[in-house]
Amino acid sequence: MSRRSSPAGVPTAAAESPTRDPRGTPFYARSVHVVARNLVGCLLRHGHTAGRIVETEAYHESEAACHAFIGETERTRPLLGPPGVAYVYRSYGIHALLNAVAEPEGVGAAVLVRALEPLEGLELMRARRGLEHPEQLCSGPGKLTQALGIGLDLNRTVLTRGPIAILPPPMESEPPRLAAGRRIGITKAVELEWRFCDAHSPHVSRPWPPAMRGARGLTAQ
C-alpha cells in the first residue's frame, strides 16, 4: 500500500487549506488531524434524524490503531480510496461505526465520528435506542449510528452526495471550544492525543479527556 503521506501529526501546508465546508471533497482531502478538528461542530444528517458533531478521533496509516496500518485488504480498501467517502465497519461484532475518509487518495486515513448532540428526530432516536435522556442517545460511536439508523449498507457511500450528509455547523450554534486528548476504546497507539471534543458539550462520550474536564471544572469520571 502507499506510504506517500507526511508523517502522522505533521500536516503539510496544502493540508492546512482553510476550507471549512464539508459539502465538498476538498474539505476531506487534507490532513486527517485538520479534518477531525474541523468536523467538530458540523451537522450530521441521515434520513429524518440529525445531530451536531461534538467528538471525533483521527486515524492514520502510520499508527497501529488504524485499520490501514496492516496494508490494503478488502476491508481497508475504502480507507485508501477517494476522500469524503464513508467507511462504516462493525466493531466487536455489534456496533456499526461511522468514519469519514480523509487525506489524498492512496493514503489510509479516516475520522471516526464519536458523539453527537441530537437536534432533529429525537423521538425516532429514542425509539431506536430504547432510551429517553438526550445526553445518552448519541454519546458514543455505536450509539449515534443506532440512533441515526446508519448501518453497514452505507459503507463506501459518498458523504458529499448522501444518503449520509455532513453539513456546515448550524447557524445558531456556538463555535466549539476544542479539547484534545487520547483516543479511547483502543489498545494500540494509545499515547496519541488525536481525540477532539467540544469542551462545552455534555454529549461527549465518557470518559471525558482531562482538558475537557478542566474546562468544565469537573473531576475525573
Q: Which cell goes with 191?
A: 499515547
Q: Which cell goes with 184?
A: 479511547
Separation of alpha carbons 112 and 110, rounded Å: 6
pTM metric for this prediction: 0.89
Does residue 17 come out as left (phi exceeding 0), alpha (psi in the -120 to 50 range) or beta?
beta
| Domains, in order of start, for the chain | 18-215 (3.10.300.10)
pLDDT in tens, the chain (221 residues): 344 444 444 444 344 455 789 999 999 999 999 999 999 999 999 999 999 999 999 999 999 999 999 999 999 999 999 999 999 999 877 889 999 999 999 999 999 999 999 999 999 999 999 999 999 999 999 999 999 999 999 999 999 999 999 999 988 888 899 999 999 999 999 999 999 999 999 999 999 988 886 555 443 33
